[in-house]
Structure 1
């Protein structure tokens, strides 16, 4: 029988997995049906917020234990991206004490939650490995998406999001469990990871570990390979991709759709140099041509006429595209507010309170971080995004390319990551930054 010391160790992976699934399913949950109900994620005292706090506390405890007891966790955090993530969290925590008085407590809580989840996801990566962490996140977010569909189908008045596109006109989008754009981002990332499980690298030989201490647990196979093969797995991941695609279309989120298409293209770029890639390229060109013809037939004019372009807008007004759905006005407001507090920012999770009601956020990732914690945090974030571009978009691993491309493109016009309660997107971004460390020896100098 296992000893009393072995039983907790055997149970730890299961506990970490359940917390990952719970965080992915619960953290994006926010019951709203219109923009007028949008508020700070940590401002509610409802049951879902309390459950999120309990999860954050459990994650923080495991993360702290991992930092103290796991050499691999410390090695991941001692890397360049790990140090950058820690430094960003340090600035969040320090500046949170100088947040705007009305949101100071919220800012402190959000900063601590970020640090807790950073330590937790690093410990999870060191304990479970890349593939199992990703599977847990996809399973949890799939539960969230299925719940969103159940709400829309069974209780339509609670599952729809009514968005005003003018003083009198509205558009109905999938909602209920969050803002449609947030639901769409979660759906696209879930679909991309489902695609990675079906098409990614599978157990290629890993670089040898030449350090004196020997190989890490799980080495001998490629620690970053995530493909999960077999007919039943293909059926499961195909279903995940189908649900994700349907959800994205139902939310009418153009940013998520465009960023998702670009990310999927980067994930499959290695397949372009063959018969399969030729089929994909021809199919893509043919689909785009059919879309242009359809728009032309629908409007009766050229594909790039004003009336044709208005088809892809919600309001039918071309100005909606030229102003990026009002984002240019929001950016101007955000920059003005950053200039008022350039060193400390206004606090994490404060935009919904400080900015105008119509804004609800900065709608740009760098502005989001600078608004929250000042220009020093913005500089650190710029460095992490540059690392994501240089080493993530060019990675040999499909899933890393997909994560980084989606976040970089979506981050141009959305906050995308670093939510008050981290969702799948933030956690996968951290995993994508840190996971490549697992593929190298513990002492690279000895490998030369």
Structure 2
């Protein structure tokens, strides 16, 4: 092979890294300060939208090259979750042609962007492995969070999000670079991956057998495992986790907080055995007890009284909890609209146009897919979420468990993934579904086994 052929191949991992960083930093970016400004992600002609489209074009080009030139990329897409993800993209493209006329062009563009990013993230996983994909995404999303904090602190009129909790009352949340729930979603995904990189351990068994078998399987194991580095890197990951946690609380997103805590717990569940786990359990119970006590002392009443409810709600009204912050009304509206177009849906990225301004989305992952692309897409999504539950939550890799649990829990009350321009969490979800297929499993009596057996002395 000539040196001219080797140079582009050597540069490809760095190009992939730059696109991953750019996607994590730019795709969630949306300059809004209130719900009245919320619009379709692909409808704006601002500079951030043009940058996102350019980045999507670059990602699609890399993805197509990977599909044509990389056997490993094709193998990942030929797996069960890979085929389901591709089928979902095919349905998105087909149904977008029949979407509502006012959003048809936008829906077609969103469907093509999904397919392009699916091919790209699969190519990235096959080329540089899960660890480097994760690091690149964490770097990009950290830039996004730092920019969000700079607006929030330095330019508060541009860095906050005003949300109406009633006809006359409002609450101020961290915003500026997107809806607070989107910012919180990025923050939790960043924090979970920072935690995975900090702890730096996977329970995946190390390769066993002959030296030949170990050498042959080791590259694939390295591609899948998330491992940490030296003490300086540990400080960096601690900083990433701190920024992510602070951002999540500043957005006042209770869904992200609860789902993030559950995901972190499932990630580290293998470490909760023995003295360390007992200490964590006792500390957790004690912390909850202290919180309940503080609420009671602050309100002067029981922890579930009206005064105490005011501490954990935005409006101080208990109905905010019973209606899941108005989501039950939004679900009713979404179901009524789905009934009008059950098989084709209204089109990707159409909720902000079709639904009422108070909704801005379906606030449920399955409703989001059904609303966007019809019944077939919803059935495919049910299968993918089932795969996420059966294989993702039970995975021996901590980072996969964390991503899947967060998507499953948050998806109950949020759209969570499958945005017009995929954010970090969507890309991580795809990686978590496909990554286990990188692990090489030899068939019985393979060439390496035959060589290993022939090298052993006969009895």
Indicate the TM-score class for this superposition, using the shorter chain for normalisation: over 0.9
Where do residues 230-245 of structure 1 align in structure 2 (5 Å cutoff)? 230-245=230-245
Give the conservation status (yes or no) of the 8 Å contact 1:42–1:49: yes
Cα deviation, 1:47-89, whole Å, max 9, x if unaligned, reads: 0000000000000000001001000000000000000000000
CA displacement at 1:444 relative to structure 2? 7.9
Deviation at 1:210, TM superposition (A): 12
Q: Which residue of 1 is the match for residue 219 of structure 2?
A: 218
Q: Which runs of 5+ in 2 are unaligned?
A: 450-459
Higher gyration radius (CA): 2
Matches within 5 A, 1:161-310: 161-201=161-201, 205-206=206-207, 215=216, 218-219=219-220, 221-310=221-310
Distance in 1 (CA, whole Å) between partners of 2:357 and 2:163 is: 13
Say if 1:102 and 1:172 are closer, same or farther in 2 by CA, change over 3 A.
same
| Kept in 2: contact 1:309–1:318 (CA 8 A) | yes
**1:304 deviation in Å?**
2.0
Q: Deviations over 1:334-377 (max 9, x none)?
A: 01111110110000000000001100000000000000000110
1:101 aligned partner: 101
| Gap change, CA 1:198 and 1:409, over 3 Å in 2 | same
- What per-residue deviation string (whole Å, max 9, x for no partner) do you get for residues 349-406 of structure 1? 0000000110000000000000000011000000000000000011111100100000
Take 1:256 and 1:334, find their aligned partners in 2: how far apart are those partners?
22
1: CA distance, partners of 2:442 / 2:325: 48
Q: Which residue of 1 aligns with 2:12?
A: 12
* Contact 2:145 2:187 survives alignment (8 Å): yes
> In structure 2, how many angstroms separate the alpha carbons of the residues matched to 1:21 and 1:97?
31
Do the aligned partners of 1:222 and 1:439 also contact (CA within 8 Å) in 2?
no
Q: CA deviation at 1:278?
A: 1.4
- Who is 2:54 aligned against? 54
Q: Residue by residue, what CA displacement relative to the aligned partner does 1:93-135 show, whole Å, maximum 9, x if unpaired?
A: 0000000000000000000000000000000000000100000
Contact residue 264 and residue 402 of structure 1 kept, 8 A = yes
Instruction: Name the SS for the 1:4 alignment partner.
Output: helix
Alpha carbons 1:26, 1:48 under 8 Å: kept: yes
Q: Aligned-pair distance for 1:246?
A: 0.5
Following superposition of structure 1 onto structure 2, how do residues 105-116 of structure 1 map, counting pairs within 5 Å? 105-116=105-116
Q: Tell me how far 1:225 sits from its aligned partner.
A: 1.5
Alpha-carbon separation, structure 1, partners of 2:415 and 2:208: 36
- Secondary structure of the residue aligned to 1:129 is helix
Give the aligned partner of residue 343 of structure 1.
343
Q: 1:198 to 1:163 in 2, by over 3 A?
A: same
Cα 1:2–1:204 shift into 2, 3 Å: farther
What is the correspondence of 1:254-403 to structure 2 with a 5 Å cutoff?
254-403=254-403
Q: Distance in 2 between matches of 1:57 and 1:106?
A: 15
User: TM-score, normalised to structure 1's length?
Assistant: 0.96
Shift in Å, 1:441 = 2.4
CA contact (8 A) 1:313 1:321 kept: yes
Which range moved further: 271-280 or 91-100?
271-280
Report the TM-score when normalising by structure 2: 0.94
Compared CA separation, residues 67 and 284, structure 1 to 2 (3 A): same
Q: Where do 1:412-427 residues align within 5 Å?
A: 412-427=412-427
Query: Aligned to 2:224, what secondary structure does the other structure show?
Result: coil
Q: Distance in 2 between matches of 1:347 and 1:211?
A: 51
Please state whether the residue corresponding to 2:361 is helix, strand or coil.
coil
Number of residues of Structure 1 aligned to a counterpart in Structure 2:
446
CA distance in 1, matches of 2:445, 2:365: 36
Q: 2:124 aligns to what?
A: 124
Q: Does the CA contact (< 8 Å) of 1:92 and 1:111 recur in 2?
A: yes
Q: Equivalent residue of 2:162, what SS?
A: strand
User: After the TM superposition, which of the residue ranges 84-93 and 433-442 deviates more from structure 2?
Assistant: 433-442
Output one character per residue of 1:126-177: Cα deviation in whole Å (capped at 9) or x when no partner.
0000100000000000000000001111111000101111111110000000
**Residue pair 1:209, 1:440 contacting (<8 A) in 2 also:** no
